Amino acid sequence: MIKFGLMGTGRIGRMHASNIVNSEKSELVWVYDINQAASNEVARMTSSKNSESVETILEDSSVDAVLISSSTDTHADLIVQSAKAGKAIFCEKPIDLSIEKVNCCRDQIQGTDVPIQIGFNRRFDPSHRKVAAAAHNGEIGELEQVIISSRDPEPPPKEYHLVAGGMLRDMT
């Protein structure tokens, strides 16, 4: 059983919390969000503990992994803290909007030997994989342009755009 700490209880964080508690292979131990009302609500809904700090989660030796679904501008720092604490990491995309900060994050976690995955979910989408394979195999000729349509079930809150880089970055 993998024991998780969740950092970020917005729209995608709530989805991940639900997935964790509905899996027989995982347990949600801690929930943290800067918005403590939201964090408390998710903790209550999932029968997990609410944390008032990231450090509480990272210091808990029973936590095997963290799931980072907070705002984009916090990802790199949380990755570094989590890796240094020896926790396996799943982080929502992107790591940061600045390639310099992404590279700095990478440099800081090298040698920590913790598993890390960034949630580029489109990479595993069956339709995307089929088109990519057809392009790589020459089945559809030489590519000049690729246009896709991808939608979320509902628009994100206005505040999301201020820290996440907008829908274009989210959908790619």
Which pLDDT value is given to residue 31? 99
Nearest to 38 by CA among 73, 71, 85: 71
Confidence of residue 166 (pLDDT cuts 50, 70, 90): low
State the residue for tokens 């392009």.
135
Domains, the chain, ordered by start? 2-119 (3.40.50.720), 123-170 (no CATH)
State the residue for tokens 């800067």.
34
Instruction: Give the CA radius of gyration of the chain.
Output: 18
Can you give the pTM of this predicted structure?
A: 0.82
Instruction: Give me the DSSP letters along 14-54.
Output: HHHHHHHHT-TTEEEEEEE-SSHHHHHHHHHHHT-EEESSH
Sign of the CA dihedral 40, 15, 27, 82? negative
Does 156 sit behind a cis peptide bond, omega within 30 degrees of 0 on the bond before it?
A: no
* pLDDT tens per residue across span 41-99: 999 999 999 999 999 999 999 999 999 999 999 999 999 999 999 999 999 999 999 99
* Three-state secondary structure call for residue 163: helix
- 49 residue type, one letter: K
Nearest to 68 by CA among 86, 47, 93, 105: 93
Dig out the tokens for 160 from the structure: 């999301």
Residue 141 has pLDDT above 90, yes or no: no
